[in-house]
Amino acid sequence: MRLATLAALAACATLAQAQDTAREIQRYRQMIAEGSPAELFELEGETLWKKPQGPKNVSLERCDLGEGAGVLKGAYVHLPRYFKDADRVMDLEARLLHCMTTLQGRSRAEATRRVFGSADRPSEFESLSAYIAAQSRGVKIQPGMSHPKEKASYELGRALYFQRVGAWDFSCASCHGEEGKRIRMQELPVLYKPESARPVIATWPAYRVSTSQFITLQWRMNDCYRQMRTPEPTFASETTVALIHFLTATARGETYRGPGNKR
């Protein structure tokens, strides 16, 4: 009889331990969020926004992120959206690249030589994303959903979410498909459900404590596809923008409170 009780005790100990584990991980996340170096990247982003660059030696201050030339307030949370001048749907990083090539006259090759930075040297897109996203704090997330190309981008994003590809047959839903699932200790939000997508999209882009890097949604798409064992998605391509569009639209209505803080 004793053995059975011991086993039972061990079993419920593991169960209790599992719940404690989840609760403690939540506390860990909450504590690191309180002290985030993300603000340091916002400072760096402001410098870059105002810094004349490229053959035309012009800053990005006249870049139209959708709310009018140079308007930052609320710009991030209204992306992705359709831009007539480029005749396509763009997220923040695609739009920044557009302004770098048009306003500043930089070549696409030069501007995208280093789209993802390192702890020692963040990329321009990372610092700029920190600064611009911060200008949307407190504004409700509402990407473009009315233009036919916006609807098509959203539908493409949804289909991509469930497309099983790569050497390991994964889709986004393989990991982000069922409530309460974890990879290692990392909880996996079911991102096609509004209630799960809202807290996530409201806190991206973010400072990642484990690598001391500031990471953007373009990086997130890139790194997820790397782990799905597919070839590499081109930076700011229609695929990446459509996925970001689907996730942002799923989170619409939430008040933006980033840049955030990730493990």
Partner 1 sequence: MNRLRRALLAALALGLVRPLAALAAWNKDAFGAKTPADALKSLGIAGATPSKEVVIDAPEIAENGAVVPIEVSSNVPGTSALIVLIEKNPFPLAARFDFRDGALPYAKLNVKMGETSDIRVLAEAAGKYYSATKEVKVTIGGCGG
Partner 2 sequence: MSRAALLLALVALPALGEPTPQDVQKVMQHDFHARGQAGMDRVVQDGVQRVCTESHDRPPAELAKALQADQMKTIVYPQGSLLGDWQRGEAIAQSGRGLTWNDKPGDAAGGSCYNCHELSPQELSHGTIGPSLRGFGRSRGASAEVQRYVYGKIYNAKAYNLCSQMPRLGASGTLTPEQIKDLVALLLDPASPVNR
Partner 3 sequence: MAAGPMKMRAVLGQGYTDIRVLMNHPMETGQRKDADGKLVPMHFIQNLAVKVNGKTVVDAQISQAVSRNPVFSFRLKGGAKGDKVEVSWLDNHGESNSTEAAVA
Structure tokens at 53: 């660059």
Interface with partner 3 (CB under 8 A), residue from 209, 230, 239, 252: 209
Quick one: CA dihedral 139, 173, 216, 79, positive or negative? Answer: negative
Binding window for partner 3 (CB under 8 A); candidates: 7-15, 116-124, 144-152, 177-185: 116-124
Interface with partner 1 (CB under 8 A), residue from 31, 71, 86, 159: 31
Binding of partner 1 at residue 40 (CB under 8 A)? no
Interface with partner 2 (CB under 8 A), residue from 39, 110, 169, 195: 169
Q: Are strands 206-208 and 260-262 parallel, antiparallel or unpaired?
A: parallel
Mark residues 172-201: x for contact with partner 1 by CB under 8 A, - for none.
Answer: -----------xxxx---------------
Name 237's Cβ contacts closer than 8 Å, sequence gap at least 6: none
Structural contact between residues 92 and 143, judged by C-beta atoms closer than 8 angstroms: no
SS3 145: coil
Q: List the single partner that 24 binds among partner 3, partner 1, partner 2, none, CB under 5 to 8 Å by kind.
A: partner 1
Binding of partner 1 at residue 19 (CB under 8 A)? no
Q: Is 175 a catalytic residue?
A: no
Binding of partner 2 at residue 118 (CB under 8 A)? no
Please report how close the Cβ of residue 182 comes to partner 1 at its closest, in angstroms. 10
Binding of partner 2 at residue 160 (CB under 8 A)? yes
Q: Closest by alpha carbon to 80, among 32, 143, 168?
A: 143
By CB under 8 A, the count of residues binding partner 3 is 15
Binding of partner 3 at residue 120 (CB under 8 A)? yes
Distance in angstroms (rounded) separating the CA atoms of residues 88 and 100 = 17
Secondary structure of 32-90 in the HEC alphabet? HHHCCCHHHHHHHHHHHHCCCECCCCECCCCCECCCCECCCCCCHHHCCEEECCCCEEE
What residues from 217 to 256 belong to the interface with partner 2 (CB under 8 A)?
A: 225-227, 229-234, 237-240, 242
What secondary structure letter does DSSP report for 105?
-
Residues near partner 2, by CB under 8 A: 14, 21, 151-152, 155-156, 158-160, 162-171, 174-175, 177-178, 180-185, 188, 225-227, 229-234, 237-240, 242
Active-site residues: which are they?
A: 224
